[in-house]
């Protein structure tokens, strides 16, 4: 039987457990399961890893619980702005978008950039013009702003700008043995206008290379991009011969004296091995192997 798998994350953060209600926990778990089910539906039918990661992330972008698409964080001016990337492990092609405001599903634009644009990375109004030329669905800024995120922006305008980095990401292995990785984010609460995250930076927040692994990262972008976190996992697997779980854990901790901040990642290889690594007490995460029932977790003391 051919192998296939999908694994996702929806953010790594250090939070107080009492701040997360049982109702919120249930909603997070249900959201993760829905995203995994969407990706699984693609893989079970023999679809590509690219299609699977897009399907999973689209579900999370459309879920106001997660910081990507609708429900994304608001910047210092109270606006949403999104970054996303996708990478094909088969041929190392990638597409990235940054600081986009009107595209309903940023991950779809990232894929269109990869497949139909002569550039790898498009930002701001240029990216939106390209989205329009490709017939992608656009929405007014008000579509993305939820009451919860608006309240958070008002309450934490000055002192909470480092929080809310619950980026979403997915990695998948299809029945042809190909890997793909994708990441999408609404950025940090009250970030400066024009700030880009690690998510669209190939090698920082997103990376895939078939013989080795696919990786998607989450956490404080400024730290992740300086550590080139996703590529570090790949390098440890390729050059140091580390197993996927060990490589993932080492990538998160190896520069901890210099890179102080929340970090997390999910990785997957062609042997259907899944690894999660994070330095926070919470990372929303889950996976499914071969179409089996999804396993999801939130807290650091949960083992899946």
Catalytic residue among 80, 167, 183, 185: 167
**C-alpha to C-alpha distance for 183 and 263, rounded to whole angstroms:** 14
**C-alpha to C-alpha distance for 25 and 298, rounded to whole angstroms:** 8
17 labelled as ligand-binding? no
C-alpha separations of 3 from 14, 34, 87, 164 in Å: 34, 21, 20, 35
218 labelled as ligand-binding? yes
CB atoms within 10 A of CB 9: 28
Residue 167 among the catalytic residues: yes
In terms of Cα–Cα distance, which of 47, 81, 84, 45 is closest to 201?
A: 84
67 within 8 A of 60, measured Cβ to Cβ: no
219 labelled as ligand-binding? yes
267 labelled as ligand-binding? no
198 labelled as ligand-binding? yes
49 Cα distance to chain centroid? 15
Residues within the annotated binding site for substrate? 195-198, 218-221
The catalytic residue positions are 167
- Known binding positions: 195-198, 218-221
């Amino acid at each position: 039987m051919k192998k296939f798998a999908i694994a996702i994350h929806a953010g790594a953060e250090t939070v107080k457990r009492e701040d997360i209600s049982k109702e919120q926990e249930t909603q997070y778990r249900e959201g993760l399961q829905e995203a995994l089910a969407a990706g699984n539906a693609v893989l079970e039918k023999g679809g590509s890893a690219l299609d699977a990661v897009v399907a999973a992330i689209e579900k999370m972008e459309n879920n106001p619980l997660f910081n990507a698409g609708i429900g994304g964080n608001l910047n210092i001016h109270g606006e949403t702005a999104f970054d996303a990337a996708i990478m094909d492990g088969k041929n190392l092609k990638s597409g990235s978008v940054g600081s986009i405001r009107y595209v309903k599903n940023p991950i779809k634009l990232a894929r269109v950039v990869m497949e139909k644009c002569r550039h790898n990375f498009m930002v701001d109004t240029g990216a939106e013009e390209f989205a329009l030329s490709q017939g992608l669905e656009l929405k007014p800024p008000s579509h993305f702003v939820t009451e919860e995120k608006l309240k958070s922006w008002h309450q934490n305008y000055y002192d909470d700008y480092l929080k809310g980095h619950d980026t979403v990401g997915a990695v998948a292995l299809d029945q042809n043995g190909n890997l793909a990785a994708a990441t999408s984010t609404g950025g940090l609460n009250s970030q400066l206008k024009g700030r880009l995250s690690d998510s669209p930076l190939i090698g920082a927040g997103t990376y895939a290379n078939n013989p080795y692994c696919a990786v998607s990262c989450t956490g404080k972008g400024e730290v992740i991009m300086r550590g080139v976190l996703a590529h570090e996992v790949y390098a440890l697997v390729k050059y140091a011969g580390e197993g996927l779980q060990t490589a993932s854990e080492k990538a998160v901790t190896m520069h901890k004296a210099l890179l102080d901040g929340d970090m997390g990642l999910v990785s997957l290889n062609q042997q259907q091995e899944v690894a999660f690594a994070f330095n926070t007490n919470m990372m929303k995460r889950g996976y499914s192997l071969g179409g089996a029932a999804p396993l999801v977790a939130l807290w650091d003391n949960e083992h899946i």
